[in-house]
Amino acid sequence: MNGNFGALAGHPAIIGGGLAGLMTALRLAPHPVVLLSKAPLGEEASTPWAQGGLAASLGEDDDPALHLADTLGAGDGLCDAEASGRILRAAPAAIDALARLGAAFDRTAAGALSLGLEAAHSRRRIVRAAGDGAGRELMRVLVAIIESVEARRLLAEDNTITGVLAAGPAGPFLLATQRVVLATGGIGGLFLDTTNPAGSFGQGLALAARAGAELRDLEFIQFHPTALDGPERPMKLVSEAVRGEGAVLVDETGLRFLAKEPGAELAPRDVVARGIWRHMAGGHRVYLDTREKPGADFARRFPAIAGFCQAAGIDPATQPIPVRPAAHYHMGGVAVDGAGRSSIAGLWACGEVASTGLHGANRLASNSLTEAVVCAGWVAESVAGTLAGRARTPVSVALPPAPDPTLVRPIMSRGAGLLRNREGLCEAARALLALASGPTAASDPATVGLMIVVMALRREESRGAHARTDFPRRDRVARRASLGFVDAIAAAREIDRHAHPTACRA
Ligand SMILES: Cc1cc2nc3c(=O)[nH]c(=O)nc-3n(C[C@H](O)[C@H](O)[C@H](O)COP(=O)(O)OP(=O)(O)OC[C@H]3O[C@@H](n4cnc5c(N)ncnc54)[C@H](O)[C@@H]3O)c2cc1C
């Protein structure tokens, strides 16, 4: 160990340098904080890649109740309506605060915010920057001082955080602190096809679970319907906003195969993604036809998307864009209360790693950046208002190896993808248990995968983004669920004992 990380001991530690982490640090100012980010700022975070924007009820024909109704509709009965209403009511003021910090959002000639439309929103309410560059713009405004290190374990005793064990350029070190905010982003990197940065594979969930925190609704993973279909990983995202501006989905024969679905191409993401998946399983290729709308205006409206399409040899003004679904956003996460507190004293979670209750079984497009900005303020207030308490010397453990999800990706993609069933989930659980058990690079990503799979097995219904082909119906009563590490491992061992899939229960 490189010691106790000297003068920084006792300061709140924020793990993650995306929007949630940076915003929490900013809201904690002038309190000193230590912000740990495993990659250089702006790299390997989802935030700078966000193309759509932030959803807030700012239009004259809009109000937070309408925004809430759309969010609850997309969440398919599983949102926490009270938490969602509280977050969405705070959204317009949060956008205003970002604008005052200097975020250059797109505006009309008259100076009003120019609002975009996205799937399943009944009003124009997406605040954008530079067309499709909202995330880049937010990062530009918020960049602060950062330590370039990776958190590998949270240390906890008596259900209370005592420190963070991390690895930095100068080797391993231990930060003694009783206040930790997890802001580590999503889990798309656990799948072969994803739009997330390669480093987003749920490390925060592994840290929280191993420290004893409860995780919630992990089975709900949003697959974005339209990632650019090509060899590049992570896959480039062709934003929903493109469909919001009139582009349609067609197959190689030109058939608009979703035209008869309610909402057609602007139906909730899970419906569109499954529609594409099924059509592809029937042997078709799928394209986003942008030739008529936005047509010649495409490059001006969506400069970043036009740029990567051109790099792949496609001109969206004259050629349809090949697309396929990809793991994109995690609705589940560390179970937190209205102040972002987890079930462990001294551990908060914010941003995509947290489960606040806003997203339910399926996220409404562009609600996540809004959630990160709004909740960061509440987390910061709670951290600042929590006394550090009597300093304890953390009992350290051996530094685990740097996590690597390579072995986990094919297992998750096969068993826990867009369409699931008991047999596939049980097979995945057995393979993941074997990987999770050893102190290897695969063990943390496999632990997260295993917890997702156990929760997916326990949910014997189809709801929102969780689609079970063996349980296609939705239960009458919506039920949220949580899971701890010990319970997950016990459930996986039980599954492992039953060779036959019909006997396999989590
Ligand atoms: C292509 C794409 C487009 C999107 N578009 C939109 C959009 O238009 N609107 C919207 O609302 N949402 C959008 N989303 C979702 C949204 O961008 C994310 O949910 C949000 O940015 C997550 O922010 P975050 O701060 O929680 O995590 P991130 O921005 O992903 O940051 C996570 C940080 O944690 C760090 N980290 C992880 N593990 C460790 C560790 N062990 N130690 C130290 N550091 C660690 C990472 O290096 C990174 O700095 C999009 C996502 C993608 C991938």
What is the per-residue pLDDT for 32?
A: 82
Which residue matches tokens 């480039």? 236
On whether residue 258 sits in a domain, the answer given is: yes
On whether residue 240 sits in a domain, the answer given is: yes
Nearest CA to ligand 1 atom 10: 366
**What is 4-48 written as a DSSP string?**
S-GGGTTS-EEE--SHHHHHHHHHHTTS--EEEESS-TTSS-SGG
263: domain CATH number?
3.90.700.10
165-223 pLDDT, tens per residue? 999 888 898 989 999 999 999 999 999 999 999 999 999 999 999 999 999 999 999 99
Nearest CA to ligand 1 atom 37: 184
Query: d(Cα 256, Cα 366) in Å, to the nearest integer?
Result: 26
**What is 424-463 written as a DSSP string?**
HHHHHHHHHHHHHHSSSTTHHHHHHHHHHHHHHHH--S-B
196 lines ligand 1 (CB under 6 A): yes
404-449 pLDDT, tens per residue? 999 999 999 999 999 999 999 999 999 999 999 988 999 999 999 9
CA of 471 from ligand 1 middle (Å) equals 32
Residue 86 has pLDDT above 70, yes or no: yes
38 lines ligand 1 (CB under 6 A): yes
Closest ligand 1 atom number to CA of residue 237: 1
On whether residue 278 sits in a domain, the answer given is: yes
Residue 160 has pLDDT above 60, yes or no: yes
Residue 11 has pLDDT above 80, yes or no: yes
On whether residue 86 sits in a domain, the answer given is: no
278-289 pLDDT, tens per residue? 999 999 999 999
On whether residue 261 sits in a domain, the answer given is: yes
* Phi, psi (rounded to 5 degrees) for 72: -65, -35
Closest CA to 148 of 254, 58, 17, 252: 17
What is the per-residue pLDDT for 142?
A: 52
Domain that residue 289 falls in: 226-326
269 carries an active-site annotation: yes
The C-alpha R_g of the chain, in whole angstroms, comes to 22
CB 343 within 8 A of CB 336: no
185 lines ligand 1 (CB under 6 A): yes
What is the per-residue pLDDT for 139?
A: 61
On whether residue 245 sits in a domain, the answer given is: yes
On whether residue 285 sits in a domain, the answer given is: yes
pTM assigned to the model: 0.92
Residue 2 has pLDDT above 60, yes or no: no
Q: Which of 80-94, 317-331, 380-394 has the lowest mean pLDDT?
A: 380-394
On whether residue 246 sits in a domain, the answer given is: yes
The total domain count for the chain is: 1
Would you state the structure tokens that stand for residue 428, as one six-digit string?
A: 């995945």
List the catalytic residue out of 125, 152, 269, 291. Answer: 269
Instruction: For CA atoms 63, 332, 272, 95, give the dihedral sign.
Output: positive
47 lines ligand 1 (CB under 6 A): yes
